[in-house]
Amino acid sequence: MTAPSTATHDSEAARRYNRIRRELSLADFLLGAGMFLGLLATGLTGHLRDFALFAAGQNYTLAVFFYVLQIALLAKALGMGLSYYRFRLEHEYHLSNQKVKSWAWDEFKGWLLGLALATVVVELIYLAIRLAPQWWWVMAWAVFIALFIFFTQVAPIAVFPLFYKFVPLEDEDLKQRLLRLSERAGTRVRGVYEWKLSEKSRKANAGLVGLGNTRRIILADTLLKDYTHDEIEAVLAHELGHHVHKHILQSIVVQVGITFAGFWAANQVLRYAIERQGMFLSLSDFAGLPLLALVSTVMSFLLMPALNAYSRRKERQADRYSFTAIPSIGPFVSSMNKLCEQNLAEREPSPVVEWFFHSHPAISKRVAAAEAWARTQRAS
């Protein structure tokens, strides 16, 4: 018999920290939706469009960029308080080492990256609207999916390094072990990297990221420092479980369906606002952009419980794969417990919280599932 894994109840600190984080994500949503609503209700969006056209000397493409820039500046100005609060929160709970200067620099880079992506997407949407006013939403959807797949592919090599340093893993022993594990799962991995997370955070993390030629294993230095090779193998086995069950492909398919519905709904709402309400001059009037953004923000929020339930199902599948891929569940259970403690996660969140907010099953359930699985193995 194994001893009971660890205490099952969450500390007051873990509960409070996670509650504040949930409140922050709700505040983020309300702020975003509120900003878009405010822009529409006050007519400010029309003034921003007029200013953008004036500043661009009536050049449409440049004006779209100036309009997006103004919205991005406004969103940053409004959201700065929440970002800083989040930064302070991590320090208050001793989960971060990041200096304020480094944080501010990351915020700036994140803002620039967001602006660049938003500019590309919005320019393409308005190009599609001008090329095919009837079918713009189908074109925009196709382009969006292509960009989404491209982004998943380049993110590990072009985006992650903007925020963190990565070096090839030096521990040859561990590297060979992880590569063997990947081979058994039938995936070709193009390298194992150490992710210098400790400069910014005390949390631990690992992942199998990228697609095709950018597919790589990343292991946080915080994980390498405090976890045994068996535990790291258990963590990676879970990640490989996602691969074995083709979860990336499935996620892309789901994304394809949801964005199709999203662009369709956006088109309906925009047409209604123009034809019935006279809110904008035409489809190509980019003052209507906050309405598109509002549709997508509200849709993502409403879909959150469904997408999280879907994600939890995939996490359970990946866990079950990991039980079979490693010699015993001991390292899986101990790595779960360590990660839970180190990241100040809630072991037993309330069912409502788990249902709405959690993309992963509660740690207590994951550990219980591992132990139940081990019992059935012993019985057979």
Q: Which residues in this chain contact Zn ion in the complex, by CB under 5 A?
A: 315, 318
Measured from the CB atom, is 63 or 185 closer to Zn ion? 185
Beta carbons within 8 Å of 296's beta carbon, 6+ residues apart: 262, 266
Report the alpha-carbon distance of residue 243 to residue 178 in Å, rounded.
Answer: 14
70 touches 52 (CB < 8 A): yes
Report CA 288 to chain centroid distance, whole Å: 27
Q: Considering the complex, state which of residue 16 and residue 245 has its C-beta at the smaller distance from Zn ion.
A: 245
Sheet of 166-168, strand order: 166-168, 192-195, 216-220, 206-209
- The conformational region for residue 191 under phi > 0 = left, psi -120 to 50 = alpha, else beta, is left
CB of residue 358 to Zn ion, shortest distance in Å: 12
Q: Supply the minimum distance, in Å, between the C-beta of residue 257 and Zn ion.
A: 21
Q: CB of 306: closest distance to Zn ion in angstroms? A: 18
125/318 with CB nearer Zn ion? 318
What does the H/E/C string look like for 5-37? CCCCCCCHHHHHHHHHHHHHHHHHHHHHHHHHH
- Number of helices followed by number of strands (H, E) in the chain: 14, 4
CA nearest to 164, candidates 199, 207, 190, 112: 199
Which residues pair with residue 216 across a beta bridge?
209
User: Residue 135 CA to chain centroid, in angstroms?
Assistant: 30
* Nearer residue to Zn ion within complex by CB, 293 or 318: 318
Q: Which is nearer to Zn ion, 71 or 236 (CB)?
A: 236
Least distance to Zn ion, CB of residue 316, Å: 10
Token representation of residue 44 = 């400010």
Smaller CB distance to Zn ion: residue 229 or 316?
316
We find the least distance from the C-beta atom of residue 276 to Zn ion, in angstroms, to be 45
State how far the Cα of 195 lies from the Cα of 222, in Å rounded to an integer.
9
3-state helix, strand, coil in the chain (%, to 5): 75, 5, 20
Residue closer to Zn ion (CB basis): 251 or 296 = 251
The nearest distance, CB 242 to Zn ion, in angstroms, is 6
Distance in Å, CB of 319 to Zn ion, minimum: 8
Query: Which neighbouring-strand residues pair with 207?
Result: 218
Closest CB to Zn ion among residues 15, 316: 316
Least distance (Å) between residue 197 CB and Zn ion: 17
CA-to-CA distance for 236 and 115, rounded, in angstroms? 34
CB of 101 to Zn ion, least distance (A): 33
- Residue 125 or 219: the one with the smaller Cβ distance to Zn ion is 219
State residue 96 phi and psi, 5-degree precision. -135, 145
CB of 67 to Zn ion, least distance (A): 38
User: What single string gives the DSSP state of each residue in 66-103?
Assistant: HHHHHHHHHHHHHHHHHHHHHHHHHHHTT-B---HHHH
In the complex with Zn ion, the residue whose CB is nearer, 241 or 262, is 241
